[in-house]
Amino acid sequence: MLKFGVSLIRWMGPCFITLGLSPALLGAEQERSLLSLHTAVVLAVDHYPDLAAKRFDLKASGYELAAAKWQLLPSLRYSYEDVNGGINQGVTTLQQPIFTFGKLRNKVAIATAGFGQAQHDFSELRLQLALKVSVEFFSVVSEVERLKISAESVMAHRRLYEMITRRVEAEASADADRTLARARLDAALSEKMQIEQNLHLANLRLASLVGAPFDGVAFPLKDSSWRVREAQVIEAALAVAPSLAILEAQKRSAKAKEYLAEGEMYPDIHLKFEDRKGDTNFFNPETQRIFVEFSFDTGAGLSKKASLNAARERVFASEQRILGERQRLEGEVAALYQNHKAAVARAPVLDSLVAATDAVVSSYIRQYTVGRKSWLDVMNAQREWAASKHQRVENLISMNLHMIHLEMRSGSFFDEPTVTDIK
């Protein structure tokens, strides 16, 4: 399995993000803890009803495979009938397939492919669930980080408002400046309230997927280095893609059905032992016989040939679906790779932007006190500072989320021992 340098958990330092969830929603009596992404996926996998259904489907496919294999062994049949004159007669038959032109073998192959598909169906649903959980998890992380910035912005606007109020009272500034400062403070407060609402909704969405109480989320948001080539990532993703494995299993099933249709054009050969008993239950050698039975169902007209042609066309269709899925996955993984790469490239630029806007705010405040800048200039600089910090957070979220999705697509995320597999 291809590893992307080192695991996210190891190549990022710890950072803990806490948030409150409704006790009524999660159960106040239960112990709360910070939630990691891996733990969130584990809980979601255990909690998700559709995955539980897939587990039952997998067990059912296992039984179907066992049933197909049992058909290779001798079968015993007993029949009881009332014949002429009220004489009761029982017939015991033991039958062993000798040669069926691959019909039984291909039925086993079909059941084997079905069992494999059930396994990959589980893995595909688990992957899609993990991707969904990661999106909602990072939505919480994003809103928490945005809330921190918004709180800083409110505090900064409040300090600026208090400063301009003192200047207005000292008749050093016009009252219009105070009005503007108050309007900008109210706008910052409104934005903070909206982010709090967004965070609450993000909490609800994640809690519904996880199905377990937690106090907050823990995830290290940091820049990352990248040392893996795009071709390697795509190759790793294709090698473990459940959706591709599902189509491969369907192709194997279609091929086995083609061979089965070919076998249906030939007779079945069985070795049979038959024992007939009457009312007396008296042993009579003439009631026992061993013989070879040839059986053949001609079908209606050219139906068997038509069925064979249909089976062959389904094989061709399955091959095309595999090609289409490979192309789709290659494009999807390549897009993830390029988006992550672009986010990594933007990170130092946004760091510089945040530092520059912070310096501008400090400079404009000093220049305002000496009459070289207007209060509107100061307010606009403060707004640009908050916007630059939001951009940096969004970029970090994008970079980390794309990295996680690449790990999930390549299978390396599920290599962690904390992530459950099929039970």
Please report the pLDDT score of residue 359 as a whole number.
95
CB atoms within 10 A of CB 347: 17
Contact 42, 421 (CB under 8 A): no
- CA dihedral sign, ordered 11, 13, 14, 15: negative
Torsion of CA 319, 322, 324, 327, to 10 degrees: -130
Contact 160, 181 (CB under 8 A): yes
- What distance, in Å, lies between the first and last C-alpha atoms of the chain? 22
Lowest mean pLDDT among 20-34, 73-87, 230-244, 259-273: 20-34
| For range 329-336, the mean pLDDT | 95
Q: Among 177, 136, 313, 327, which Cα is nearest to 244's?
A: 327
| For range 263-270, the mean pLDDT | 81
Please report the pLDDT score of residue 83 as a whole number.
60
Q: State pLDDT tens for residues 43-84.
A: 999 988 998 898 999 999 999 999 888 888 888 887 877 666
Please report the pLDDT score of residue 340 as a whole number.
92
Q: State pLDDT tens for residues 171-204.
A: 888 899 899 999 999 999 999 999 999 999 999 9
Sheet strands (E) in 36-87: 75-82
In whole numbers, what is the pLDDT of the chain averaged over residues?
A: 83
Q: Among 408, 392, 393, which Cα is nearest to 7's?
A: 408
Give me 271's structure tokens: 């070795």
Q: Any idea which residue has 């003439």 for tokens?
A: 286
Band (pLDDT 50/70/90 cuts) for residue 19 is very low
Please report the pLDDT score of residue 218 as a whole number.
87
Q: Among 313, 289, 408, 354, which Cα is nearest to 145's?
A: 354
Please report the pLDDT score of residue 391 as a whole number.
95
Measured CA to CA, the distance from residue 18 to residue 216 in angstroms comes to: 4
Report the percentage of the chain scoring pLDDT > 90.
Answer: 51
Give me 398's structure tokens: 């994008």
Please report the pLDDT score of residue 13 as a whole number.
31
Measured CA to CA, the distance from residue 264 to residue 256 in angstroms comes to: 12
Q: Which residues is 96 bridged to in the sheet?
A: 271
Measured CA to CA, the distance from residue 355 to residue 335 in angstroms comes to: 30
Please report the pLDDT score of residue 80 as a whole number.
76
Q: Interhelix angle for 375-410 vs 230-240, to 10°?
A: 50
Please report the pLDDT score of residue 113 as a whole number.
92
Please report the pLDDT score of residue 224 as a whole number.
64
What DSSP assignment string belongs to 292-359? Answer: EEEE----STTHHHHHHHHHHHHHHHHHHHHHHHHHHHHHHHHHHHHHHHHHHHHHHHHHHHHHHHHH
pLDDT at 285 over 60: no
Is pLDDT larger for residue 94 or for residue 314?
314
Contact 220, 12 (CB under 8 A): yes
Domains of the chain: 8-415 (1.20.1600.10)
Measured CA to CA, the distance from residue 382 to residue 9 in angstroms comes to: 35
Please report the pLDDT score of residue 291 as a whole number.
75
Please report the pLDDT score of residue 183 as a whole number.
94
